[in-house]
Amino acid sequence: MVITFSSCKNDPIMFDKSKTFVAFAYSSVSVTENSNSIDLPLMVAAVKGSPSVTVNYEVSTEGISNPAIEGTDYTIDSEGLVSFPDGMGYAAITIHPIDNDQFTGNKAFKLVITSNSKGYANGALSEMTVTLKDDEHPLAKWIGSYVVSAVSYASPGDYDETWAVTTEPDENDVNSLLISGVAGSELDPIKATINLEEMTITFAPGQSIGDVYGYGNIAVYKGAGAGDDVVLDEPLTGTISEDGTILIDLWGELITDGQYQGYLWDVFNTSWIKQ
């Protein structure tokens, strides 16, 4: 059976002008405090030829635990009003972060659409949260992207691995890093604690990186000295250097579930080179 569709002409898909709305393009953005500026897109979704419109917004810190203060942490160009001469499209609210030389943690504020000159409805994204990331974090030297060379104890050269890893600050603990991408992991990051006096990095035992090899969940432990086992009740500790390099020996990976539960995947000596 053949089903055919026919029409006198190809009717265009038209935008219903009753659906015109105003919204931000994103619900949240982040920018480091030492950036020059950032343009935050605001849009009016309307049909071509619509009358010009102005959109009003306000700054709010309601519900934000570490609020950014206008004039101290940033400035704004448009002063609460954005114009759309063509009645549609995108316009920018330009934010200028203000850098300082003190660690105050990440700060944030919200932009909230309040009204517009044509009475259009607000879209789903009527608020945008802007986070100003502090670049004076005490662990800044070890925050960023790394290439990790993991040399196998079991068979150096044959079973070596290379990982692309990202480290981020833990917003709840200024002395800790959250580490993503170990062995290709896509799970939530694992946590490491930094001791700046001793220049060490420490991982609590048993943190999961997921089924990264296809044989069951892998958990990270301190490897035994011979590289043929792990120590279940001791933390894994490495060293950090001022240039951002991290060295962690005896990085042990144990399979913790499934058919191969209890098997050791491998133990690695790892070198973390910051990019």
Predicted local distance difference test score (pLDDT) of residue 6: 41
- Return d(Cα 151, Cα 158) in angstroms, integer: 9
Residues 101-134: tens digit of each pLDDT: 888 889 999 999 999 999 999 999 999 999 998 8
Q: How far is CA 253 from the centre of its chain?
A: 26
227 and 188 in a common domain: yes
Domain count, the chain: 2
Indicate if 81 and 189 belong to the same structural domain: no
| Alpha-carbon span 174 to 140, nearest angstrom | 11
Question: Residue ranges of the alpha helices (H) in the chain?
Answer: none
Residue 7 maps to a domain: no
Beta-sheet strand order (sheet of 89-97): 74-76, 89-97, 38-45, 21-24, 121-122
Last residue of a domain, one of 133, 165, 184: 133
Q: Check whether residue 127 and residue 170 sit in a common domain.
A: no
Q: Are 143 and 179 in contact (CB under 8 A)?
A: no
State the pLDDT at residue 180: 98
Contact 27, 41 (CB under 8 A): no
Q: Tell me whether residue 263 is in a domain.
A: yes
Residues of the chain predicted below pLDDT 70:
1-18
Final residue before a domain boundary, out of 97, 115, 133: 133
User: 124 and 156: one domain?
Assistant: no
Q: Are residues 56 and 103 in the same domain?
A: yes
CATH code for position 58? 2.60.40.2030
172 lies in the same domain as 262: yes
Considering the domain architecture, whether residues 57 and 159 belong to the same structural domain is answered as: no
Residue 8 lies in a domain: no
C-alpha–C-alpha distance, residues 255 and 260, integer Å: 6
d(CA 19, CA 22): 10
Instruction: Identify whether residues 105 and 205 lie together within a single domain.
Output: no
**DSSP 3-state assignment of 140?**
helix
21 — phi, psi (to 5°)?
A: -150, 165
Residues 211 and 255 in one domain: yes
In angstroms, the Cα distances linking 88 to 40, 47, 95, 154, 165 are 16, 7, 22, 63, 42
75 phi, psi to nearest 5 deg: -130, 160
Domain boundary among 81, 102, 133: 133
Residue 238 within a domain: yes
In a domain, 48, yes or no: yes
Containing structural domain, residue 158: 140-274
Which pLDDT belongs to residue 3? 39
In a domain, 82, yes or no: yes
Residue 109 counted as domain residue:
yes
Are 178 and 225 found together in one domain? yes
Question: Do 100 and 41 share a structural domain?
Answer: yes
What is the distance of C-alpha 38 from the center of its chain?
17
Give domain status of residue 10, yes or no. Answer: no
Pair of tokens at residue 172:
């709840």
CATH label of the domain that carries residue 145: 2.40.128
